[in-house]
Amino acid sequence: MALGTDFILDALAAEGLDHLFMVPGGLVDPFMPALGRQTRLTPIVAAHEGGAAYMADGYARASGRFGAVLGIGGPGLANMTTAVAAAKTDSSPLLVLSGEIPVAMEGLGEFQDASQFTLDDTSIMRPVARLSLTVASAQNLGHALRHGLAEALSQPRGPVHLSLAHDVLTGECDAAHTPVSPVFAAAPLDTAAAERAVPLLAGAPRLAILAGAGVEEGAAAEALKTFAERFSIPVATTLRAKGVFPEDHALSLGVFGYAGTRHATAALLSDAIDVLLVLGSGLNERDTMHWTLRQRSKALFVHVNTSLAELSCVADTDHVVAGHAAAFLTRLSRLGELEAAALTRGKAARDEWIAGIKAGPRLYDTENCHRPGKPIHPASAIVALRAALPRDGIVLVDSGAHRAFAGHYWTSYMPRSYVSATNLGPMGWAIPAAIGVQCARPDQRVAVITGDGCMQMHGMEVQTAARYKLPVVYLVLNNGALGNVWLRAHQYGAVPSELTSVVDHDWAGFGRALGAHGITVTDPADLPKAMAEAVAAGTTVVIDVKADKDCPTPVYDFAAGAHAWSYHE
């Protein structure tokens, strides 16, 4: 027998977690002594419940496991709503635990009652989570927790919420927790569909691959690299999956879609392409360059994905395989003699095709990567940070114009090294999420590319990083504007320009006030020294770069696709 709180904490540790992100409050008070009774979980106290949930999201993305967040119900859970929605849209597995008043007091007017009698926390969370349950008794805590974890880890993965009545936390639970995570370690695959797909790939001289976020899971990234190298197959990635294939590899085309490269656009929209193998992407707007890929591509599509919903909504896909990218790539590693020979015969045609594409420039506006003069161009700051961060360093990119600059100019070399909430894109997400990433990957350097608008929303979590002595580097592109929004709005006149402008703050001073090291950069010539100092500091650092706001983002192909696209064609 164990108290409900002890049962939950022991279960999380048994599932492989070593951190719990939280904000204390009356409705979760029983967890405080329970956390003191165990040694396997390190609690990280955030400044805001939304920040705590973002940290758990970052932890999940960096670790490949799920992340856990704890807070009170009512206002605490409401503060987590956007973070849970962002996790759902990016298929990031979270376990959200919220405290509730005793069952006997529900509906009697007790302070912060958010039970089914009043706000009904589970109903608030249900639209943005995969599952939202009320647990009213310690007697059903064991199977409720297992059910929640199973939902979080089932493909496509996502967030779940358990509202825990006070009776659950203080009651005795006699269940024995058996870890759920190992059940989901296997990579499922529709083997019959996979077998039908293999000849389509083998018979394609000009074959290319578009790797999505599903390639981050399991050993898929390494299997992809092995397969591509064996048969000289070029690989593009989605922005969400940036880094699953080394971007300095000879077969890399870079990102396709939003902030994509010229090489990826030219190859995937080439009239010469025969077959495109799509691995682990739902082919949403940004992954397809505003659906241009689905509209203009001459290729036959072979689409491998775990989400049957995403597979079924892409009506023009020629061949679909329900399953995990890792499992499909494992099948490709066991090609028969005739299949391998056919792919080998296509190598010469692929090499010639890709050599022609890669003869042209890869990126747009490369002169901005080292642009002199003030204010500083965002590309210059991003390139300087990339040069200072180790090859295996992890960067988190926030929402704003800096997302486009980072997506285009940052070079990623390995899976889970480029982390961004790409589908919902909440501003300020990366600031707390980096704390979760650093907790999950303590031996790797972590940096954030964010903006002044994002700092206004979640910059307070810098104090959390500093308090726990986490060496996260925060690069703030301080351009005095809500970047992407200003780029559109200022064209409409003085009032729209004013509404999307931001007062210039001393973000380096702000960082120092919160316990971090602060650096201000106004001259691009000082960028290399500032970045090197920040990375070498071994502590939380805020770099305030006085950046230029009037810089067109390198999304020209995407913008052209959006302009030309019609739903009716």
Q: Which of 22-26, 343-347, 367-371, 564-568 has the lowest mean pLDDT?
A: 564-568
Q: Tens digit of pLDDT for each residue in 236-277?
A: 999 999 999 999 999 999 999 999 999 999 999 999 999 999
Do residues 168 and 201 touch, judged by C-beta distance below 8 A? no
Q: What is the mean pLDDT of residues 165-187?
A: 91
Contacting residues for 464 by C-beta, under 8 A, at least 6 apart: 44, 45, 46, 47, 51, 55, 432, 435
Q: How confident is the model at residue 568 (pLDDT cuts 50, 70, 90)?
A: very low
Burial of residue 139 (CB within 10 Å: 0-12, 13-18, 19+) is middle
pLDDT at 290 over 90: no
* Cα gap 541→476, rounded to integer Å: 10
Q: What is the pLDDT of residues 380-400, one digit of tens each?
A: 999 999 999 999 999 999 999
Q: Which of 476, 462, 483 minimizes the C-alpha distance to 521?
A: 476
Cα distance between residue 383 and residue 370, in whole Å: 8
User: Percentage of residues in the chain with pLDDT exceeding 90?
Assistant: 86
Q: What mean pLDDT comes out for the span 309-321?
A: 72
Distance of alpha carbon 501 from alpha carbon 14, whole angstroms: 48
d(CA 284, CA 286): 6
Mean pLDDT value of segment 323-349: 94
- Domain definitions of the chain by residue range: 2-184, 191-358, 366-546
Closest CA to 221 of 248, 196, 242: 242
DSSP string, 331-390: HHTT--HHHHHHHHHTHHHHHHHHHHHHTS-SSS-GGGGG--SSSBPHHHHHHHHHHHS-
Instruction: Give the residue, 208 or 488, on which the prediction is more confident.
Output: 208
DSSP 3-state assignment of 109? coil
Q: What is the mean pLDDT of the segment spanning 460-475?
A: 98
Rg of the chain over all Cα atoms, to the nearest angstrom = 24
The stretch 43-63 carries a mean pLDDT of: 98
The β-bridge partners of 72 are: 99
CA-to-CA dists, residue 419 to 42, 264, 406, angstroms: 23, 20, 11
Residue with tokens 């299997």: 223
Residue 221 is encoded by which pair of tokens? 């990234």
Burial class (CB in 10 A: 0-12, 13-18, 19+), 550: exposed
- What pLDDT sits at residue 291? 81
Q: What's the CATH code, domain 366-546?
A: 3.40.50.970
Label residues 79-90 b or e (16+ Cβ within 10 Å = b): bbbbbbbbbbbb
Whole-number average pLDDT of the chain = 94
- Please report, as a single letter, which amino acid is at residue 552: P
Per CATH, which fold does 191-358 belong to?
Rossmann fold (3.40.50)
pLDDT value for 569:
40
Overall average pLDDT of the 73-96 stretch: 97
The dihedral over CA atoms of 490, 491, 495, 498, expressed in degrees to the nearest 10, equals: 10
Euclidean distance between CA atoms 264 and 216, whole angstroms = 19
| pLDDT score, position 317 | 63
Amino acid at 47: A
Task: Decide if 191-358 and 366-546 have a common fold.
Answer: yes
pLDDT tens by residue, 423-454: 999 999 999 999 999 999 999 999 999 999 99
Q: Give the whole-number percent of the chain exceeding pLDDT 70.
A: 98
Identify residue 350 by its one-letter amino acid code: R
Region for residue 558 given its phi and psi (left: phi exceeds 0; alpha: psi -120 to 50; beta: otherwise): alpha
Report how far residue 165's alpha carbon sits from residue 369's, in angstroms, rounded to the nearest whole number: 54
- In this prediction, residues 337-346 reach a mean pLDDT of 94
pLDDT at 318 over 80: no
* Whole-number Å distance between alpha carbons of 275 and 201: 7
The class (CATH top level) of 2-184 is alpha beta
Number of alpha carbons in the 13 Å side-chain half-sphere of residue 240: 29
- Mean of pLDDT values over 184-197: 89
Average pLDDT over residues 321-342: 94
Look at residue 337 in the predicted model and tell me its pLDDT: 94
What is the band of 314 on the pLDDT scale with cuts at 50, 70, 90?
A: low
Q: What is the DSSP string of 273-318?
A: --EEEEES----TTTTTTTHHHHH--SEEEEEES-HHHHHH-TT-S
Whether 150 shows a pLDDT value over 60: the answer reads: yes
Long-range contacts of 528-532 (CB under 8 A, 24+ apart): 528/384, 528/387, 528/388, 530/384, 531/384, 531/385, 531/387, 531/388, 531/389, 532/388
* pLDDT of residue 512 exceeding 70: yes
